[in-house]
Amino acid sequence: AGSAARPGGHSCSDPEISWALPDTSHVSHDDLTSQVGEVLLYYCYCEVSDPERLCAWQKALCQHLHLTGKVRVASEGINGTVGGSKVATSLYIKVMLSQPLFKNILCQEDFKSSAGGAHCFPDLRVGVFKEIVPMGIDPKIVSYKETGIHLSPQEFHREVEQYLSQATQGQSDTILLDCRNFYESKIGHFQGCLAPDIRKFSYFPSYVDENLELFKDKRVLMYCTGGIRCERGSAYLRSKAVCREVYQLKGGIHKYLEEFPDGFYRGKLFVFDDRYAICSNEDIISACRYCGVLWDQYKLCSSQHCRQLVLTCPSCCNKGLTACCPVCQEKELKVTSRASGQTLKEECECTRRRPRVPIEHGSPRVLDTGK
């Protein structure tokens, strides 16, 4: 999408999927499998007539280049985050850009990169899904073709600057909306943003439905990690016809931080791989769950039946405080004494206390932080 332009969507007249794999005969095995590399994040909305065929090609391509990660394919497009050596990721981008299915849609700048490699993911997972980002609503009902107005990082930066200036004077008619989950915004977010206390993106539509009064007659500036959640999220918000206008950050926080590493985004950027977070500044805006010291490095809850993330500092870890809450801490002890094969339901203090869809009362709950 161009500057301040709403795309009308892309229509592919059933282009043939190229099965070609890149020639790697001139590349040494060590260069192709080097641990020093990068992680790519990208997505492309387009009409895919044969998702299964695209999925098979994508899996073969990633295996050929020794890439790991996750790739979602659907009739509405493709969404991927893959890691490997720089030689491998460079070849991957080249092949993706030459794929007839993505011609004139996907471009070089659509690939966001960060330091990493194949070791950032436990394996390679490529599959066909109904949506390339799981919002839980049929793409035919809420389409990416009805997305909000895209703003470049520079345009978004100016909008946030104006918003923060007006907000301090109590005159803003704008909402700076974080589309991500609570554990993402907890360790990093834009100053003065409204960050829904939701655990999954599939809860976002219900959050909007329950809080329509907040968005009535407002200008909404939306952002997420790489831009993909805003594509469908902004389309859903626009479908409610309550906002004056809906804008979204093109390329997401990833692209913003490339332009403004010391801008209005403070803290770390959460990523969905074994790194959990990447940083562009030295700010730490979150705290250890147990002692309250500044800390922003996530670990999985030590209770094997819980998938919650926990912020627990080295000092607390050394004391054995490694679970997301006291309930899980106690459950972990019980599990070790149970017979093999028995399981416990994932239920902890964290999930019980967090409503599935929080309702904002009065003024929007905003997150703010200074340097």
Q: How confident is the model over 238-258, as a mean pLDDT?
A: 97
Instruction: Report the percentage of the chain scoring pLDDT > 90.
Output: 75
User: Residue 134: which pLDDT band, with cuts at 50, 70 and 90?
Assistant: very high
Residue 259's nearest CA partner among 162, 176, 154, 158 is 154
pLDDT of res. 101: 92
Residues 295 and 251 in one domain: no
CATH number, domain with residue 51: 3.30.70.100
Structural domains in the chain (count): 3
Q: How far apart are the first and last CA of the chain?
A: 33
Interval 14-57: pLDDT, tens: 466 778 899 999 999 999 999 999 999 999 999 999 999 999 99
Q: What is the mean pLDDT of residues 133-138?
A: 95
| pLDDT at position 6 | 37
How many whole angstroms separate alpha carbon 148 and alpha carbon 162?
Answer: 19
State the catalytic residue, choosing from 46, 193, 224, 313: 224
Residue 12 lies in a domain: no
Q: Does one domain contain both 158 and 254?
A: yes
CATH for 234: 3.40.250.10
Structural domain of 242: 149-279
Q: Which residues contact 95 (CB under 8 A, 6 or more apart)?
A: 20, 21, 22, 61
339 domain-assigned: no
Q: Is the pLDDT of residue 11 over 50?
A: no
Same domain, 267 and 297: no
Bridge partners (DSSP) of residue 149 are: 247
Do 72 and 39 share a domain, yes or no? Answer: yes
Residue 134 lies in a domain: no
Return the top range by mean pLDDT from 7-16, 64-73, 103-112, 139-148: 64-73
What pLDDT shows up at residue 235? 97
**Structural domain includes residue 356:** no
Q: How far apart are CA 263 and CA 53, in angstroms?
A: 42
Residue 241: strand, helix, or coil: coil
174 by Cβ neighbours in 10 Å (0-12 / 13-18 / 19+) ranks as: buried
Tokens read off for 134: 């799981």
Length of the chain: 371
**Are residues 190 and 104 part of one domain?**
no
So what's the pLDDT on residue 7?
37
Confidence at residue 158, expressed as pLDDT on a 0 to 100 scale = 98
Q: Say if residue 215 is in the same domain as residue 244.
A: yes
pLDDT at 367: 73
What pLDDT score does 333 carry?
60
Q: So what's the pLDDT on residue 1?
A: 27
Q: Is 66 left (phi over 0), alpha (psi -120 to 50) or beta?
A: left
Tokens of 104: 């004139």
Question: In this structure, what token pair is assigned to residue 88?
Answer: 């491998």
Mean pLDDT, rounded, for 301-306: 82
Residues forming beta bridges with residue 151, ordered by sequence position: 249
Locate tokens 């959990």: which residue? 276
Q: Are residues 224 and 316 in the same domain?
A: no
Please check whether residues 211 and 244 belong to one and the same domain: yes
Phi and psi (nearest 5°) for 355?
-65, 145
Which one of 61, 94, 128 terminates a domain? Answer: 128
Amino acid occupying residue 73: V
**Domain termination site, one of 254, 279, 304:** 279
Summarised one tens digit per residue, pLDDT across range 136-176 is 999 999 999 999 999 999 999 999 999 999 987 777 899 99
**Does residue 311 fall inside a structural domain?**
yes
Instruction: Give the residues across from 277 on adjacent strands.
Output: 270
Position 24 in a domain: no
224 counts as catalytic:
yes
Check whether 368 has a pLDDT greater than 80. no
- Check whether residue 202 and residue 321 sit in a common domain: no
User: Coil, strand, or helix at residue 13?
Assistant: coil
What's the pLDDT at 246? 98
Domain assignment present for residue 5? The answer is no
Please determine, for residue 252, whether its predicted confidence score (pLDDT) is greater than 90.
yes
pLDDT computed for residue 354 by the predictor: 65
Residue 10, domain member (yes or no): no
The pLDDT of residue 347: 62
Nearest to 229 by CA among 210, 248, 244: 248
Residue where a domain terminates, one of 279, 305, 321: 279
Tell me the pTM: 0.88
Q: What does the mean pLDDT of the chain come to? A: 88
Domain check: are 249 and 168 in the same one?
yes
Q: Are residues 269 and 312 in the same domain?
A: no
Asked if 53 and 159 sit in the same domain, the reply is: no
Q: Are 73 and 126 in contact (CB under 8 A)?
A: yes
